Amino acid sequence: RGLRWSQLGLALSTAYLAWGVAVQAHVRGLAEQSLAATGAPPARLLVTPTAFNTVLWRVVAMYPDGSYDEAFHSLLDTHALRWQRHAAADRAALRQALAGVDAVERLARFSHGFYKVHAADGLARVTALRMGQEPHYTFSFVVARQEAGRWVPLVARNQGSRGDIRAGLAWLWRRLQGADLPPPR
């Protein structure tokens, strides 16, 4: 009797994994088609399910200059992917200035290249784009402070944020059902 329950559990978990792989491939194909129409294919593409489901997917397209596009696709959507551009034009000099900073290099490896560098209030941050969504990410580290016109490396400390969890879950539920809503900010 215990063997049958184990076999059922194994069958269900394998079916769930196969479902996830198939849906991810489907959403990746939609994203690649959508991006090909723009004429500027990304260097890297991340397709990942949102929290607690495999119906709503988040797609991040990274470009060589550090800019990235973010979109969400629900299997219940009746509209095309809507990309939100996050430009990096103002970050090019910051990326150059932080080149070689250990914390930046480690997060770049950890995030498999899906990261951004940004500055505010005289502090430079490096943020992994793989876990979270704009502007709330799990891993966002302060890595340098501006002093006398140059960036001075600091001991990295995580200042990731979660945002308003209730608003995020309410958006997730509605967006999962195919509602055409912009992500909460």
Q: Which residues pair with 125 in a beta bridge?
A: 118, 142
What residues contact 85, with CB distance under 8 A and at least 6 apart?
67, 69
- Please tell me the chain's helix, strand, coil percentages from 3-state DSSP, rounded to the nearest 5: 35, 30, 35
Give the model confidence (pLDDT) of 76-86 as tens digits: 999 999 999 98
What is the three-class DSSP state of 19? Answer: helix
Residue corresponding to tokens 């996830």? 20
pLDDT attached to residue 89: 61
**Is residue 159 a contact partner of residue 121, using CB atoms and an 8 Å limit?**
no
pLDDT attached to residue 44: 92
What residues contact 159, with CB distance under 8 A and at least 6 apart?
125, 140, 141, 142
Q: State pTM to two decimals.
A: 0.86
Q: What are phi and psi of 83, to 5 degrees?
A: -90, 140
Give the model confidence (pLDDT) of 121-161 as tens digits: 889 999 999 998 888 898 999 999 999 888 888 888 888 88
Handedness of CA 17, 18, 23, 29 (dihedral sign): positive
Ranges under pLDDT 70 in the chain: 89-91
125, burial (CB in 10 Å: exposed 0-12, middle 13-18, buried 19+): buried
Residue 135, preceding peptide bond in cis (omega within 30° of 0): yes
Q: Which residues pair with 71 in a beta bridge?
A: 59
Which of 109, 107, 67, 68 has its CA nearest to residue 89?
A: 67
